A and B are shown apart, each in its own frame.
Chain A
């Protein structure tokens, strides 16, 4: 490389770097600086000594997470719900994206897109009351209009755990599928139109085009999105699991996740050591999961791995 082209390349990357500065700063301030607080998870907090001066207490702060059989229930709920969300979420999002990409009228496609994204903008608290309007045992739509018309007995939804895995998945899909389809819509629009043209000339139908062209072309995007969501396998949308079931105790067996457990348990005692311990536990497991999943992908198809 000549000197001038090197200079030019540096100049170019300098401009790119300058553009990245705000984002990097944001990451640094929001994600990296607060990380110093990790050590609080191993401290017995004493305010008169300050955070740094407090005594170390080893893994004592982690004990409460494993105190009862709740530990198993909340880990099971968190993981199973998230796996379901990842699986169904991906399927729905890709499905919607394929349908959307077939809409050629500009006005219609924008209208549908707006309609699909709207639920994502609605706060979970409001979603909770929308669900409540359906499921209220006395005045709700389901008990009055649907079950009543079918001649069935009303169900007291908020004390019957059995229905909630389905209800929660439905709510989550309604809220997020439209939004997550955007990425897929973008990648579909990036697929070379020539491929479809060639396929049509060879006599391939719509379904064949989808399975033979769209899906294989989408695969890297799908893998990347799934890998990214695996990192959050141990986290949960607090609003979904706390607000939507109206914090109903009778449903805890199917709605308790690590986040809600920590919130409920520590609201009363406000122990920041224990809260940090729970956060650290989630992050470490999430980190391990991403690394493992990525390693598996890299072994099979190196070009699709995240890193």
Chain B
């Protein structure tokens, strides 16, 4: 099968590139567009480290065939900060030290962005539910949940 031309808007910028058949969005982001924030953890949709937003919805980019989302709007962690200025979620993760090795952080922040966009004032349990698809093996999760709640407070 031939490669196909895919058009996406990634972090506000139009991108046009060739993708192999069934190439994952994650592969396109990392290997073609050089956006390395989304991590390749398990490559089978169970760890959440590759989470990005597609048309504002959080998806595991390792499971999305990029040719199926032609013309979609994609947002990755690289598109969250305003230049050098971190957004509320990033700042809350930094201030609350909600990261240790950092491998899950990009996915956690994108999941949090999606949650807060839809539900600006989540409860503790709603935060827990939102990040249930994102695995962290360092922090024990507590600092992450606290940081997301903190970010919600900062946005008010």
A interacts with B: no
